[in-house]
Structure 1
Amino acid sequence: MATRPSSSPARSLAAALLATLLATLLATTVSCVPARILAGNVATLFDSPRPVQSKVRAPYRPEARLAALWVGHATVLLQIDDKVILTDPVFTDTVGVIVKRLVEPGLDPEDLPPVDAVLISHMHFDHLSLGSLSLIEEKVRALLVPRGGLVYVPNYTFDSVEVPTWTTWQQGDLKITAVPVWHSGYRYGLDRDWMTESFTGYVVEYHGITVYFGGDTAYARDHFVKTRSRFPGIDLAIIPIAPVGPREFMETKHVGPAEAVQAFFDLGARRMMAIHFDTFINSTDAFGEAPRELRRVMAARGLGPDRVFVPRHGEQRVLIAR
């Protein structure tokens, strides 16, 4: 893995002061939300990500029929019997050059088992990380992307396939279907007029177990209800809970904790796993704000950790044992 060059305490202090000054300038002179988010990222640019203690070194669990490990953000290592699926892999320290990790990856790339399918939900830098795919290239058997997504995927050694909404990719008994969500799929901004379908959720089916992965999505009840009608009895719904604020800016792009829980009910899933929080600064949320709000919503709706769980970075749970 890449290492950072050593630096003197004086140089580190100077870099930190510079970052603070730039962040303050951005935050006080520009009022728009993207500038405030940028200011938050500049302020952390020279910080080291928080370490993850006691990382899992052997994540393949022979005793599990269904297991999930949260690497961070939207990256989940999912095991269903002998199949391994990885969602939106991001293992790099930064995304989009300036967005720095707050917490290091909860799993090291070298500890990945062979991956039967990598699922990419959309083209944004914090979900389609080409540097991360290069790190794990030799372990990946197939990459699935939404419609139009292959334009940004290099010629890797593994197969790369576009899966439009409501179509299914199948390898043996493993079936993965693209399902609708409400987000955006462009990568650079200039491509927003023609990258209009390059975002998706996925439903994974194998040996009678069904898992939903929402990627990034705003609240769209019709999408969730239609997915439930086609896939009744979802065993696990992996749903983002952030970014939360400012809500008027985020509500057409991202569910907050309350909307995530409602999506969980709309999907009719047995359990929900919360993701997409406390890994990168992509909102005005404080660290820890989203999971605290989720726990408040859970209490209000009578949901315990047996139904909805909030993983720690690097935490792996066996949800169905053999």
Structure 2
Amino acid sequence: MFRKLLPHWPLPRYRADAARSHHGVDGYQNLYPFKQPRFADLLRWNWQRWRMPAVAHRLQDIRRQAPDAAALAANRSRPSYTWIGHASGFIQLAGLNLLLDPVWSARASPLQWAGPRRLLPPALTLDELPAIDLVMITHNHYDHLDFHAVRQLARQTSGAPQFVVPLGVAPTLLRAGVPAGHIHQLDWWESFKLGGVEAVLTPAQHWSKRWVFGDRNRALWGGFAVRGDGLQLWYPGDTGYHPELFALVSKRIGPLDLALLPIGAYQPRWFLQAQHIDPAEAVQIFRIMKPRRALAVHWGTFALTDEALHQPPLDLAAELEKYGIAPADFAVPALGETFWLRPR
């Protein structure tokens, strides 16, 4: 009964590689100094939230656009990115259909009757998407790894897609029914190739945990650089800001056509600064990485933190104006909007 209630229970078995500096004694660690959130910090934050006024989310201020599902299903030649909501994105590249951090559940939580609630629905249902070839999951937090979405993808009629994930994430996917041969675990800087697409796991300043005890940092986290059709896309995953990290990533992956930069889930800063960038830091990453274009993601879906759901684009606009960056160069997509990408 317990396993039926919590099917995401299986814990990763951690095996350190002594030759790799980010493999700690008890779990993975970041490349740069990092303040690991403590249970006492969580209690302090929730005490503050209980005392503060209720946050008013102006959902009407979040632009939405109905995707052309038929056009996406018919497309196998034009590279594209469609924002599904939060960190979830549908990518078409080199004739393949890719999903990034697919989350379709009503709550970003192990339980569907408690935890952060989805305030806006996914732009497309999983059934409306064409057959998925490759799924990329950046880490095991519930707003990025949705057990129920993974289970549905594993059962798609065309057969389970390939899954590329950081080290230690496989047990949850196996429990969801993904065949072992379809799961490819990567360490930082390792890559997986499928057809004309290559996915490289890049480092991030974050942490991992999926249960109350026993699994903290025993699965790795990261972002993905995705290459194909003469293009390179990059999503950093959940990450704190460290300029040396992004200079390193930029040097290693090279020219960037599209950066998917998180702008949400950042208040209060005393608790979240180490693990989530805010809009100001997203602009600094844009200035370091110098992509041809950036899109703002990781906002507008789940009320995970203290800022209003509509607030991140307003903060982003102020930062872009400060540095003279055109809004078209670092755009805020409508929920469901598709961007057609041009090769260099």
Please confirm whether the aligned pair reaches a TM-score higher than 0.5, indicating the same fold.
yes
**Unmatched runs of 5 consecutive residues or more in structure 1:** 1-29, 45-49
Task: Give yes or no for the alignment of 1:168 onto 2:188.
Answer: no
Q: Does the aligned pair in 2 maintain the 1:165–1:180 contact within 8 Å?
A: yes
1:150 & 1:292 partners in 2: Cα distance? Answer: 38
| Alignment of 1:148 onto 2:168 | yes
Partner of 1:210: 232
Q: Residue in 1 aligned with 2:24?
A: none
Runs of 4+ in 1 over 4 A off after TM superposition: 35-40, 50-53
Which residue number in structure 2 is paired with residue 70 of structure 1? 83
Hey, what's the Cα distance between the residues in 2 that align with 1:302 and 1:92? 38
- Are positions 1:291 and 2:313 aligned together? yes
Which has the higher relative contact order, 1 or 2, with Cα contacts under 8 A spaced 6 or more apart? 2
* Higher deviation after alignment, 64-73 or 118-127: 64-73
2:46 equivalent in structure 1? 34
Secondary structure of 2:341's aligned partner: strand
Q: Which amino acid aligns with 1:145?
A: V
Pair 1:248–1:192, CA change in 2 (3 A): farther
**1:57 matched residue in structure 2:** 69
Q: Does residue 99 of structure 2 align to residue 86 of structure 1?
A: yes
- TM, length-normalised to structure 2: 0.76
- For the residues of structure 2 that align with 1:52 and 1:302, how far apart are their CA atoms? 27
Q: Which one-letter code corresponds to 1:93 in the other structure? A: A
Aligned Cα RMSD in Å? 2.8
CA contact (8 A) 1:186 1:198 kept: no
CA contact (8 A) 2:94 2:196 kept: no
Distance 2:297 2:47 in 1: 25
More strand by share: 1
Q: Are the equivalent residues in 1 in contact too, given 2:317–2:327 (CA < 8 A)?
A: no
| CA deviation vs aligned residue, 1:141-177 (integer Å, no higher than 9, x gap) | 2111111111222232471111110111112331111
Q: CA contact under 8 A between 2:205 and 2:239: conserved in structure 1? A: yes
Partner residue of 2:124 out of 107, 111, 122: 107
Question: Does structure 2 retain, via aligned residues, the 8 Å contact 1:64–1:321?
Answer: no
Distance 1:201 1:102 in 2: 25
Structure 2 gaps, min length 5:
1-41, 57-61
* Matched AA of 1:316: T
Give how far 1:192 is off: 4.7
Give the alignment's TM-score, normalised by structure 1. Answer: 0.81
Q: How many angstroms apart in 2 are the aligned matches of 1:57 and 1:39?
A: 44
Aligned length: 287
With over 3 angstroms needed to count, the CA separation of the structure-2 counterparts of 1:289 and 1:186, relative to structure 1, is: same
| 3-state DSSP of counterpart to 2:327 | coil
- C-alpha distance in 1, partners of 2:76/2:320? 30
Alignment of 1:1-40 (within 5 A): 32-35=44-47
Aligned partners of 1:64 and 1:283: how far apart in 2?
A: 39
1:179-198 mapped onto 2 (5 Å cutoff): 179-195=202-218, 197-198=219-220
Deviation at 1:306, TM superposition (A): 2.6
